[in-house]
Amino acid sequence: MDVRAGILLYWLHIICTGVFADVWKVHVESEMKALVSSCVVLPCSFKYPVQEQPSDRIRAMWHMKDNWGDIIFHKDPTRVKDSFKGRTKLIGSLGGSNCSLEIDKVKNHDNGPYCFRVELETSKKDKYSFVENCVKMIEQASKPELQAEQSVQEGETAVFKCSVRHTCPSHQPTLTWNHTGKAIMTYKDIGHGNWETESVLTFTPQKEDDHTSIACTVKHHGNVEGEMTATHRIFVKEQPTLSHILIPVISGLGAALLVGLLCFFIVKRYKRRIADLESRNVNGMWSRLSRMSRRFRSGDGSSGPGGREQRRGQRTQIDRNFDNKANNVCTVSGNKPFSKARMPSPKSEAKSYSVSTYFIITFPLLIFLVLLTSVV
């Protein structure tokens, strides 16, 4: 049973090898992006059914899909279409099954589709045009992308990355920065005929770099009009120093001292004002009461009934004086009465002083809060 199974597998291997060996294959990208005035590489690889041949025994060409006679690349330059002469060449080795084509100085009418054809010198039948797998080009240019932190720390290394995608690995684009620093360029194949060029910039930010823009500019191969630039605005955080602590503290103490001096002078002026008002109002009610209280104290030394009679007479006299003041009439020599101006009551004066006191306390506090807010 094992011998029969082995024989069966052997014949299946021979049959499958013969079937799959007679297959021509090509691998291309159906669509490629290109930048006008620059270059583009159409990746291509192929397989043929016969034994591997050297490059000099393989003849390759590229032609238009709709018209095989419109050849855009051939080993013989005289067979190339005039609009493509001097602009196309193969990249890689045909012996290694690499049929990639480079088109330089891309024009806006280089749309394709383009197809690959291979001819082997082994026999007249070993030739094939891959018209089912052709390449179409579209005009598109990728802008550079800049990656970086928006805020960087002063004195610490900052890293900025700028990258651009393209389809011309034979002529890599260049990336330049508007800032001095160490830049490292790398190139990477990201598949499907697309490549990525990346530049990494490292430098140590200083105060002068705050609120400035870092720009990355890409320059493609060829006479490409204009330069595409990506910008990134950065903000530099200053390193904490002793001045960052002393300045707010000194400012706060200075503001507190200023407010204290202001309050001191306001209170001093307030007391002086009260003293002036009291000195001007010598005949006021409170002054008269204070004088009478002094007279009472001076008469306290008398004892006995005589002293009590004297105090009783004084109280009677005070009552008479208050009666006369109630009528607001005073008697002088010559018996001519006159009206005396009404003096403000102590209660009204106390109200005015309370308003002033509220203003004196509130105003410095408001000033202190404003100064403290400005410092913070």
Query: Could you report the per-residue pLDDT of 137-193, keeping only the tens digit for each?
Result: 888 777 889 998 878 888 888 899 999 999 999 999 999 999 888 999 999 999 999
Angle at 117 between CA 222 and CA 57, to 5 degrees: 100
Q: What is each CA distance from 296 to 223, 287, 320, in whole angstroms? A: 116, 14, 17
User: Could you tell me which of 267, 261, 259 has the C-alpha nearest to residue 365?
Assistant: 259
Phi and psi for 9 in degrees, rounded to 5?
-65, -35
The pTM score is 0.58
How far apart, in whole angstroms, are the C-alpha atoms of residue 353 and residue 219?
Answer: 80
Please give the domain boundaries of the chain with CATH numbers for all domains.
24-139 (2.60.40.10), 145-237 (2.60.40.10), 241-270+353-376 (no CATH)
What DSSP character marks residue 239? P
Q: What is each CA distance from 237 to 128, 151, 158, in whole angstroms? A: 66, 7, 12
User: Could you tell me which of 116, 115, 122 has the C-alpha nearest to residue 56?
Assistant: 122
- The predicted model gives 296-301 an average pLDDT of 56
State both tokens at 149: 């932190």
State both tokens at 282: 């010598």
Count other C-beta atoms under 10 Å from residue 158's C-beta: 21
Answer for the pair 91, 100: CB distance below 8 angstroms, yes or no.
yes
What DSSP character marks residue 273? H
Answer for the pair 368, 259: CB distance below 8 angstroms, yes or no.
yes
- Kindly indicate the confidence band of residue 317, based on its pLDDT and cuts at 50, 70 and 90: low
Answer for the pair 162, 175: CB distance below 8 angstroms, yes or no.
yes
Q: Tell me: the pLDDT tens digits for 199-243?
A: 999 998 888 888 888 999 999 988 877 668 999 888 888 766 666
- Kindly indicate the confidence band of residue 41, based on its pLDDT and cuts at 50, 70 and 90: very high
More confident residue, 259 or 284: 259
Answer for the pair 107, 36: CB distance below 8 angstroms, yes or no.
yes
